[in-house]
Amino acid sequence: ERITFYGGGIALSKSGMESLTDAKRLVILSAGCSVNLLVAAACFAMQGNDTAAVFGAVNLIICIFNALPIGYFDGAEVLELLLTGFVSLRTAEKVKKIIGTALALIITAGVIVYCVMCGESVSLSLFFVVLFLIQAQLVS
């Protein structure tokens, strides 16, 4: 059992996870995003409450990021798990790495194109989001 702290979160590693069935692993890997979606839906249902709306938006953003198949995010692990149903683990890991790198580059390019086309300067928070995505992919 191990807890690893990353730039924007933590990763919990439990021994014995590999002995679980793929269906159970999929449920565990999807649990974080599912909870974020449920919290966001509950917050958005509280119409007229600005604090709840902000909290809901934050949970929705966390869900989206965690679902990305980049680096150590749960989306990358789900992708690898699904791919191993069709190809070997080694091939699945390579495909996951390629998809994660491509997606991180596409998001980075999209941010740059958006800033250039709209004449906007890159906000510091947007810069750190892109940096975080690249770091997540490189660390994995």
End-to-end CA distance of the chain: 18
Sign of CA dihedral 111, 113, 117, 120: positive
Coil/strand/helix, residue 14: coil
| Span of 92-96, 102-106, 117-121 with lowest mean pLDDT | 117-121
Q: Total structural domains in the chain?
A: 1
Tokens of 95: 């495909």
pLDDT beyond 60 at 4: yes
Residue 131: which domain range?
2-139
* Between 124 and 79, the higher pLDDT residue: 79
Element (H, E) at 63: helix 50-67
pTM across the whole model? 0.80
pLDDT over 90, % of the chain? 56
